[in-house]
Structure 1
Amino acid sequence: MNKATEPFRFIDLFAGIGGLRIGFEAIGGVCVFTSEWNKYSQETYRANFPDDDHKIEGDITAINEKDVPAHDLLLAGFPCQPFSIAGVSKKNALGRAHGFADETQGTLFFDVVRILRHHKPKAFLLENVKNLLSHDKGNTMRVILHALDELDYDVDYRVIDAQSWVPQHRQRIFISGFRRDFPTNFTMEDVEIPEGRKPILKDILHPEDGSEIAEFPFTVGSLAEVSEKYTLTPKLWDYLQRYAAKHKAAGNGFGFGLRGPGDVARTLSARYYKDGSEILIEQDGDIPRRLTPRECSRLMGFDRPGNNRPWIIPVSDTQAYRQFGNAVAAPVAIAIANAMEPWLTNTVAIRSRKVNRA
């Protein structure tokens, strides 16, 4: 596509499998640069965005900001493990640093800063876990906001729960910014949250009644029933029940999350491949099962039942669970992109400037 005809150009950093990208492509943006270090995530990204004329770059710390092409918008779901509740707890237990003291992941935010400083794009959108707000008694968030403010961006942020779009309680913080020499009235409160009935798991589960075509290895047979491999082994199910009972007796809230078709799931995490305990699906007369990767794709809004162009899952179940657990819920990205669109494409800003001159 000729640059002169492009509404806006964006780059996708810490891209994962492209959750944020989906939102901004939906409003006509063109991705001109992608960085993602994980080779399995690169494989899924390539499979689902095959028309890119740029390669997927790896480690962002090894990329000179001068080699990043000019862009109007920077997207970055910078690594959240240093700030997540689970990540902090694990690092504390191991006696390891976390947040900005974590040299391997926490400081990757500053790679975002150096690219913003060099290219000065019109806008950015960052994503992270809700715990970023409270990490290190709020100091981490203050450092982030101060760094972005010094780059002359008007910054706003909002915690959004994907539950209004998908049947999953998933709170994430989104941080937006527009350059101060490009005045806007945008705030994250402009993001519209759907009203009405919230989705339930029935909306994304395999119906197992023959109404969808079997998709091996997720579903099998004429009724497209979920493969037996997703049912927990008796040994694992027994362990999870004993583990939950132990913590319940101790007054802790740890345990598995057993859900039925009319329920909403807990947050899907990257550890789902281990035992599936946070989201187990009830089965009549049988041991509970994990979600299939296809159901995880639907749970994250990457596709939906009956979609003529389902999300391509070219990797193993283990890698797919990790990818969806780390991803941005696509419908949330679309909602944010829709709110930012008038300012990214100038359709509001130009009009407001004319009013100001008058």
Structure 2
Amino acid sequence: MTNRVVWNAIDLFAGIGGIRLGFERAFGEELITTFSSEIDKAAQETYLANFPNSNLFGDINDSNIKKQIPQFDICLAGFPCQAFSNAGKRLGFQDIHNGSRRGLLFFQIIEICSKHKPPVIFCENVKALTRHDGGYTFAVMCHLFKISGYKVVWKVLDSADFGVPQHRERSYIVAFRKDLDSSGFYFPEATNSSTTLRDIIEREAVPTKYYLSVNYLNTLIRHKAHHERLNHGFGYVIRSWDEKAGTLVCGNMGRERNLIIDPRQKDLTRPLHFRSEVNREGIRKLTPRECARLQGFPEQFALHRTECQSYKQLGNTVTVPVIEAIARNIKKVLDENYSKGNLEPLAIS
């Protein structure tokens, strides 16, 4: 009987587990996640609903929590992007939110991996990370990887090239330990760029609550006209079923920039929480499940019990098929180094 290699992973800044899911799809039974960390309580709920036996902890800044981290082979880290995003203040390492320097959370990855020396580190962040502060921020990050003993490769990929109809450009960083042969690693090429919103829209009419009220729609129209006068690009967008969505984000405008016209719902009785009638043009926002499909999550993936949190979490998470494609290529490097005797995984079953 042939021994089965099992790689151990930790999942930092885990969110709802999108990176973990992509790696588990790529590695199959050859991956176990032994430690997870996520500070947001609502995200923890969704994470545990989908990965119920997880060793899940809170704030990775807590030294007592860091003491719980076991040895591991793979570090997964979708560290917070708000400090570097074009949608935020772009304060970088100086960014403070609720008393916490979230711009410095990247340094937790360096501290943990410098101690444990895993074979590979995988990070995901916004496209703007590589250009922040004229490229200085990203140069510092790459330098810290290098002096910690890692070779760094990175690339910006668009989710729309990997089977989901959402334009979402993100920076992906892979750091291999310097003693390994990582020459065979490459970022994946596009696998499927042909999908459209039609592929993720519900097959039946959705409830009226997803349709915009007249008052709300008029507010959006005024808001867009105001910014057009200022030559800004802000405002709602109505997408054709045969095009791709714009990037999902966690705020309201992320939903309003991905509106569609869906005339299938004939009962336009005003929901109780609406302050005006439902619009008669059939304009609605995408449902949480449709947003989950835009991120490549499977139908059985449990969303948060509240829709507000679901929209927020799906805007903050990763596109699973992109992660999976990268993870498959990472696995090839790890397996190759194991077969050559350059690397011994923590578990063999």
Same fold (TM over 0.5): yes
CA distance in 1, matches of 2:60, 2:209: 37
Within the alignment, does 1:166 sit opposite 2:155 as a pair? Answer: no
CA distance in 2, matches of 1:198, 1:167: 8
Gaps of 5+ in 2: 264-279, 343-349
Change (3 A) 1:30 1:192: farther
* Aligned partners of 2:196 and 2:243 also within 8 Å: yes
Bigger relative contact order (CA 8 A; separation at least 6): 2
CA distance in 2, matches of 1:116, 1:266: 35
Amino acid at match of 2:14: A
| Identical counterparts, % of pairs | 39
Aligned residue among 133, 139, 142 for 1:142: 139
- What's the secondary structure of 1:86's corresponding residue? coil
CA distance in 2, matches of 1:6, 1:125: 20
Query: TM-score, normalization: structure 2?
Result: 0.86
Name the structure 2 match of 1:92: none
User: Which whole-Å deviations, capped at 9, do the CAs of 1:103-122 have from their partners, x for residues lacking one?
Assistant: 42000011111001110000
Change (3 A) 1:60 1:352: closer
Name the structure 2 match of 1:347: 336
Amino acid at match of 1:204: I
Within the alignment, does 1:199 sit opposite 2:198 as a pair? Answer: no
Aligned pairs for 1:17-28 (under 5 A) are: 17-26=16-25, 27=27, 28=30
Amino acid at match of 2:6: P
CA distance in 1, matches of 2:332, 2:262: 47
* Aligned partners of 2:155 and 2:187 also within 8 Å: no
Aligned pairs for 1:85-124 (under 5 A) are: 85-88=86-89, 98-103=91-96, 104-124=101-121
Name the structure 2 match of 1:61: 61
Within the alignment, does 1:125 sit opposite 2:122 as a pair? Answer: yes
Name the structure 2 match of 1:218: none
Aligned pairs for 1:257-268 (under 5 A) are: 257-268=237-248
For residue 182 of structure 1, report the CA deviation from its aligned partner.
Answer: 1.5
Aligned pairs for 1:145-224 (under 5 A) are: 145-164=142-161, 165-187=163-185, 189-195=186-192, 197-208=193-204
RMSD: 1.8
Judge which range, 9-18 or 24-33, deviates more. 24-33
Judge which range, 176-185 or 317-326, deviates more. 176-185
Judge which range, 126-135 or 310-319, deviates more. 310-319
Query: TM-score, normalization: structure 1?
Result: 0.84
Name the structure 1 match of 2:325: 335
- What's the secondary structure of 1:245's corresponding residue? helix
* Aligned partners of 1:183 and 1:349 also within 8 Å: no
Aligned length: 315
Gaps of 5+ in 1: 90-97, 209-224, 354-358
CA distance in 2, matches of 1:235, 1:340: 50
CA distance in 2, matches of 1:275, 1:241: 16
Name the structure 1 match of 2:290: 295
For residue 5 of structure 1, report the CA deviation from its aligned partner.
Answer: 4.7
Change (3 A) 1:294 1:249: same
User: Which whole-Å deviations, capped at 9, do the CAs of 1:245-273 have from their partners, x for residues lacking one?
Assistant: 2222332211112112111111000003x
Judge which range, 277-286 or 31-40, deviates more. 277-286
- What's the secondary structure of 2:105's corresponding residue? helix
For residue 24 of structure 1, report the CA deviation from its aligned partner.
Answer: 1.4
CA distance in 2, matches of 1:124, 1:21: 13
